[in-house]
Amino acid sequence: MKKKNILTALSVVALAGLGVALLVNGNTTAVNVADDRVVAADATPVDAATAARGAYVARQADCAACHTVPGGQAYAGGYGLETPFGTLYSTNITPERSTGIGNWTERDFFRAVRHGRHKDGQLLYPAMPYNAYINISDADMHDLWAYMRTLQPVRQTAPANTLGFPYNIRLSLLGWNLLHFDNKPFVPQAEQSAQWNRGRYLVDGAGHCAACHTPKNLLGGDTGQYLQGAELLGSYAPEITNDAYRGLGNWSSEQIQAYLKTGANHQAIASGPMGEAVEFSTQHLTDQDLAAIAEYLKSLPGSGAEPPQPLAASDPVMQRGSRVYEYNCMACHNVKGEGINGMVTAFADNPGVRTPSGSNLIATVLKGGKAVATEHNLTGAGMPSFDWKLNDEDIAAVLTYVRNSWGNAAPAVQADQVARARSTLGAAMQLHTEY
């Protein structure tokens, strides 16, 4: 009987703790600083300075990238966000009354962006990174709301999401929020410089860098390996800490800034999802903000991963890879992997080629790639696809060679990895075996 009473008491305590946690994570009283009367479509005109500040916050947050279909109306939604659980389609955030946010108040907007709750109370999926946007200040949110009201209203309804059971049950997000949503505003660290705090504010808040660069658990929540690189749907977002082996440890602050500003630097060329981030977001940030981001990232110790020993040049796979490289890669990437500054990726001592799986390299060799073109780097060079020319063994060999030459050391790429990627990406089969 006594044991039963103890268990009952523990259950009550546990339920009480759960209730408190849900209350804290569901608490949106902080949005009371926002207006709850006038809807977007009826609001008075916004002054130019406020709208300009809000546009800058929108660029920090990369809103356009997710809420605009390529070639479509800006911010009208419908962009498909691929997740391990299905496809989520972004919503229309123009001030149109029926399909957009024209009937939202500022408080509705605050609640959605920073707390993941729709105007009707429905929980939003964390593909909309409210767990990062909770860090955006009240002042920046006011400006962002003002800017959103200046957008051209567009009537467009997003397609239905394609999530399977049980992920299509939004009520389950209460549990996700309990585990992964820290409902607390950004607090500067007094012992750090103003520039460092600004960098952290941008990285952890509007920039939501952890959404791609922090590994995820089975529920899609961030693990404790903060910004230490993550495999996401067949591509790899590399580590962006100051770790020397897999991170930015060998990049100077100026080189980080150049990459974010132009999409290229002495070693790396932005393409794919990171190319989109540069195109829509980071190239538009001020030099001061880019310097702040660089200072913050350079302060993070990272994973401290120990590099393996490189494969010997005499290894048969390395010898085969060397031949493939000479015939197919050397013309652009140069004899010792030097690349071309600002145009062609340099392989030498490059943490980007030392990622755990090499999935980005495999995809690029199979399907080719296009570097982002920016205001400060107008010519985005392209790489042709080699799916038609090289078989799985050749691609595995050349990537193994690159990952273990010129100061690099990383696990060998296997032919079956290439075969799986070829199938997943819908790449062509090799047409012939002669170089």
User: Per residue in 371-404, pLDDT tens?
Assistant: 888 888 877 788 999 999 999 999 999 999 999 9
pTM above 0.95, yes or no: no
| The pLDDT value given to residue 63 | 96
pLDDT at 6: 42
CB atoms within 10 A of CB 321: 28
DSSP class of residue 282?
Answer: G
Residue 7 has a pLDDT of 41
- Three-state secondary structure along 374-409? ECCECCCCEECCCCCCCCHHHHHHHHHHHCCCCCCC
Which among 201, 173, 199, 175 is positioned nearest to 187, based on CA atoms? 201
Instruction: Pick out the chain residues at pLDDT < 70.
Output: 1-26, 432-435
Give the pair of three-digit tokens for residue 335.
Answer: 């004899």
From residue 130, how far is each of 93, 185, 198, 220 by CA, in Å?
15, 11, 19, 14
Cβ-in-10-Å burial (0-12, 13-18, 19+) of 20 comes to: exposed
Supply the pLDDT for residue 24.
Answer: 57
pLDDT in tens, 145-156: 999 999 999 999
Q: Where are the alpha helices (DSSP H) in 81-205?
A: 106-115, 130-133, 138-148, 173-180, 194-204
Instruction: Tell me how far apart the alpha carbons of residues 74 and 369 are, in angstroms, rounded to a whole number.
Output: 25
* pLDDT, position 235: 83
Q: Is 165 helix (H, G, I), strand (E, B) or coil?
A: coil
Q: What pLDDT score does 432 carry?
A: 63
Q: Which residue has the tokens 């897999």?
A: 246
User: 279, 374 in Cβ contact below 8 A?
Assistant: yes
Which pLDDT score is estimated for 11?
44
Looking at residue 3, its pLDDT comes to 42
Question: Cα(407)–Cα(380) distance, rounded to whole angstroms?
Answer: 27
Is the separation of the CB atoms in 392 and 267 below 8 Å? no
Whose structure tokens read 């991170």? 247
Task: Please give the pLDDT value at position 200.
Answer: 98
Q: Length of the chain in residues, anyone?
A: 435
- H-run or E-run covering 354: none
Q: Which are the contacts of 221, defined by CB distance < 8 A and separation ≥ 6?
A: 126, 176, 179, 180
